[in-house]
Structure 1
């Protein structure tokens, strides 16, 4: 059954969602466990459900160093390069002629339609959003219905150390598929620059996998997280 979700104050247009998917229980069949997708090149974010998976998740999250969140002074999106660049060396899909946003839509979308004459620019697709469990029938003219989430937000990283990184490292971080997931626009907007202690995906079953992806991205760039964020990530994966 299709229902039309329309929030004119938030989105330009409406997106069709399958109401049977809103509890996050109907993944698209392509979603990959973050434990098996350590470079972010495989699609989706599959739930971690077994005891062994959650134990592995806790071990990974346990490797994170902790630090207090510093000031946001000097933060600007442009400090991470323009959005979305194709020239951030050292990350998946870089230099393939397509911008990062379209690379990620191609990675995670299904039933993809490209702009006439292009094999990069996607104009329609179906996306299973792991954060909400919704299946979104997306069209480019309603672009904000799907947004690319930086799992570790850029401003969060700024406050945890990226302010001192060289520009090239920040550009890699902002365009690294390991830290990027296409999701429902409203969920992404609600998250803002929050860490896991302040925001978690609405779908409870995906929260441990989300914690793993957050930890993977932080560890890949030798970035600490706050103590409350680490504690919350551990809790989502079964720590008491």
Structure 2
């Protein structure tokens, strides 16, 4: 039996509505539960669980294998140190000369001891995961180009930090099983596992024990963005 045109049109409207979804609210709900959306955030504890545990590689490390000095990646005369000093200063920086290459003054708070500095020379740029630690954790197998990228990683703000010179010299290349900052230990632990995840670096058993302890309780459940791979 042939149905009236009005009925056919009504059925078509219902089917069309069903095919495109129930509306914006449902679309938002689906987006929030999709694998892509869920992967945008993580926790320090979750990232720690993704790291490979293995014994450290011994021998062969030389600083020059990560480059002799900071690079000027974008060729604007400001090397990686200057770029980080500008990025992390709480005020507009000044430079040593009109060339605007090396930073002279600004305002920085060292995360490891909480001290605030205005003289750039009072700070050093710390590789949160030191170059020699990276070497022992997987970078010994990298090509030189990748080691240079790691040493000058401006693509992830946690990799490089301006810190009090004397504190950085005390930290040197130690991991969290051997050295911890006086302040912000929870943040430090989350940054450590994030950097190791970003660069697919391993951890040893003592390192994992220390990080597991640091990331116990609320600290390990703080939400953060999943680091892009280096």
Q: 1:51-76: CA deviations, max 9, x gaps?
A: xxxx82211222211111221x2211
Equivalent of residue 195 in structure 1, options 143, 159, 175: 175
Q: Kindly tell me the number of residue pairs found equivalent between the two proteins.
A: 173
CA RMSD of aligned residues (A): 1.9
TM-superposed CA distance for 1:82, in Å, is 2.2
Equivalent of residue 52 in structure 2, options 57, 65, 82: 65
Q: 1:217-239: CA deviations, max 9, x gaps?
A: 11111111112212212222225
Aligned ranges 1:83-122 → 2 under 5 Å: 83-87=69-73, 94-111=74-91, 112-122=93-103
Q: 1:26-72: CA deviations, max 9, x gaps?
A: xxxxxxxxxxxxxxxxxxxxxxxxxxxxx82211222211111221x
Tell me if the contact between 2:196 and 2:202 (Cα under 8 Å) persists in the aligned partners: yes
Aligned ranges 1:197-236 → 2 under 5 Å: 197-203=177-183, 206-236=184-214
- For structure 2, list consecutive stretches of 5 or more residues without a partner in the other structure: 1-41, 221-230
State the TM-score, normalized to the length of structure 1: 0.67
TM-superposed CA distance for 1:173, in Å, is 0.7
Question: What is the rounded CA distance, in whole Å, between the counterparts of 1:217 and 1:56 in structure 2?
Answer: 13
Please say if 1:237 is aligned against 2:224.
no
2:9 is aligned to none
2:63 is aligned to 77
Tell me if the contact between 1:57 and 1:208 (Cα under 8 Å) persists in the aligned partners: no
State the TM-score, normalized to the length of structure 2: 0.70
Q: 1:128-148: CA deviations, max 9, x gaps?
A: 111101112214xxx2x2011
Compared CA separation, residues 219 and 95, structure 1 to 2 (3 A): farther
Equivalent of residue 162 in structure 1, options 124, 127, 139: 139
Tell me if the contact between 2:95 and 2:101 (Cα under 8 Å) persists in the aligned partners: yes
Please say if 1:147 is aligned against 2:111.
no
TM-superposed CA distance for 1:95, in Å, is 4.7
Tell me if the contact between 1:67 and 1:226 (Cα under 8 Å) persists in the aligned partners: yes
Q: Which structure has more helix as a fraction of its residues?
A: 2
TM-superposed CA distance for 1:195, in Å, is 0.5
TM-superposed CA distance for 1:118, in Å, is 2.8
Bigger Rg, structure 1 or 2? 2
Question: What is the rounded CA distance, in whole Å, between the counterparts of 2:101 and 2:44 in structure 1?
Answer: 34
